[in-house]
A and B are shown apart, each in its own frame.
Chain A
Amino acid sequence: MEEETRGMAEQVPMLSVQDVHKHFGGVPVLNGVSLNLFRGDIKVVIGPSGGGKSTLLHCINFLVELDAGRIFLNGVRVNHTRKRELYAYRQKVGMIFQDFNLFDHLDALHNVMIGLVQVRKLPRSEARQRAEAELERVGLGDHMAKYPAELSGGQKQRVSIARALAMEPGVMLLDEPTSALDPELIGEVHEVIRALASRGMTMLLVTHEIGFAGTLANEIYFMDGGRIVEQGPPQKILFDAEQARTREFCSKIGRLHENSG
């Protein structure tokens, strides 16, 4: 494991993504993306579809092979070729998917429990207690015995958040958590994410919900064509961006999402 000394900065970023490249069959999707997340940061990535946002998150979690680039967790380079290191890393980085990806054959409680039992090797009783607590915290205490097919989209996403949180990650990656939801269900998921933020969770969020992003994030990245075109505080990016592309995107989306949040 490489140690990377960061001479100038005082703090070591919790998560550091450096110069990630990825192409699919010759088509470049990520063209040298770098970003840093410090503890407590909530950073949001916005941009047009196909801009590489989702791929970026998948790369950070090594669910997709990087063509080039390095990932650092707390200043230590993640060596994804070492299986055990990779699995340990993934436990510390939680991920929320657009299609929830709940395990279809398990009810909500067991969905949250299975990681604790199988990966962290907790005894079942302890795993159950923790799982129940996490589900209560996202407001699904009454739905623990329900199977994914019996839950609404918003409930499924909340279960998936509980499942990720049960592993006690240091960072959370959220890949368009509300894109697959009916409008009236988006609010409950936003509430949970907000609660998470107020508890100090470090998050990297990809979303189309610009209004929501604006209220939550301390920094916004605008990505297009596999690159970070511009980054800065929400006020700047959303309302007073430097780049023309950024302004164009935000004005279009802003009109659509005037009432979101």
Chain B
Amino acid sequence: MPEGITVISENLPYILGGIWVTLAVVGGALTMGLSLGLVLAVTQVYGNRTLRRIVAVYVWFFRGIPLLVLLFIFYFGILAELQIELSPFTVSIIVLGLISSAYQSQIIQGSILSLPEGQFKAARSIGMSDARAILFIILPQALRLSIPGWTNEYTIIMKDSAVTYALGVTEILARSRHVAERTYQHFWIYILAGCIFLVLTYIGTKLMQLLEEKVRIPGYAR
């Protein structure tokens, strides 16, 4: 272990550098997941039958297929067929984003459905179009309610980002593996890697809690 410490401290900057890559992947995926998820959720609650069915299939698909398999399908399959060249980094964000959108749509949908029916009726009664009602009345409330579910989603994506190593993305785990192979300190390096993820998860969760506090509406009890 003593020699391990020097080894680890030497390589620490390299491994820590992976944090930026990880954060970029996670951030990109969550953003994509949120935007798509919003559209999907609204469609599922307010759309017509056909649209709802399409969304249901979408959700079923992206929640049922393993991340690793989807990464392979996209990177080796789709891109090869379509002759497009995208970096592993980009593909990872897209795939994680698609999967996240499926889960996030369920979170947001749940929040929307938990709002009392009266909210939408009241908006209509003052002459708002449906689109405005959704945008200005429903979503502000639903999004606030979704923050806890979102925090959960963040922790999941954070951990899933490690799988993108399979495509060669140089995130935390990939770098840890490189260092471990060179230095033979697999055990402690992977513990280190895990701790880094833990810390990132913790910080993110705390930030979410701060956000929840910041946007809290006084006296709003659900």
A and B touch in their complex, CB below 8 angstroms: no
Q: What residues make up the interface of B, taking CB atoms closer than 8 Å to A?
A: none
